[in-house]
């Protein structure tokens, strides 16, 4: 039996990703917490719960960091949050299916900060590629591999 909770940094998480997590929750009987600054609807009668935190920058992130356990999985595209999760020894994965590790999360923080400096200086930069079906498929495969690895 898997003893973990899946946490979703829910404000910016695509609906298609949440639906994949809901199916995994049902299949494996895993609790899921959606943490957001606003109300999030959840499937009725499921193990999925919505946690609404106060409005404010990083309040949802702080709640997740405070409550996550080392065996848990956190789904977030927020790189600073992912860094805290990895630091606590838990697993972080983004909504495109990329697993954050001690090695890559620091690099991503540096790139993020560098790009912010460039944007703040007035240079226009492009954002991430549009989120699409291949990202959803990659996320589903990554989550399934992660859960299978944890299960054994």
Domain 6-151 maps to which CATH number in 3.30.70, 3.40.30, 1.10.1760, 3.40.50? 3.40.50
**Residue that has been written with the tokens 């992912």 in this structure:** 82
Quote the CA–CA distance of 73 and 132 in Å, as a whole number: 23
Work out the burial of residue 70: count CB atoms within 10 Å of its CB; fewer than 13 is exposed, 13-18 middle, 19 or more buried: exposed
Specify the pLDDT at position 114: 57
Specify the pLDDT at position 118: 66
Residue pLDDT tens, the chain, 152 long: 568 999 999 988 999 999 999 999 999 999 999 999 998 999 988 899 999 999 988 899 999 999 999 999 999 999 899 999 999 999 999 999 999 998 877 777 666 565 666 667 777 766 677 889 999 999 999 999 999 987 65
Specify the pLDDT at position 7: 98
- The secondary structure of residue 53, as a DSSP letter, is P
What pTM, to 2 d.p., does this model score?
0.86
């Amino acid at each position: 039996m898997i003893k973990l909770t899946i946490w979703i940094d829910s404000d910016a998480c695509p609906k298609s990703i949440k639906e994949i997590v809901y199916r995994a929750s049902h299949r494996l009987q895993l609790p899921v917490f959606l943490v957001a600054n606003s109300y999030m609807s959840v499937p009725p009668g499921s193990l999925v719960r919505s946690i609404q935190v106060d409005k404010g920058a990083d309040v949802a992130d702080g709640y997740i960091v405070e409550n996550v356990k080392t065996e848990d999985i956190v789904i977030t595209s927020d790189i600073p949050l992912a860094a805290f999760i990895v630091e606590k020894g838990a697993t972080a994965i983004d909504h495109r299916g990329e697993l954050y590790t001690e090695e890559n999360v620091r690099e991503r923080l540096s790139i993020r900060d560098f790009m912010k400096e460039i944007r703040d200086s007035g240079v226009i930069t492009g954002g991430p590629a549009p989120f699409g079906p291949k990202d959803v498929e990659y996320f589903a495969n990554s989550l399934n591999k992660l859960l299978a690895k944890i299960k054994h």
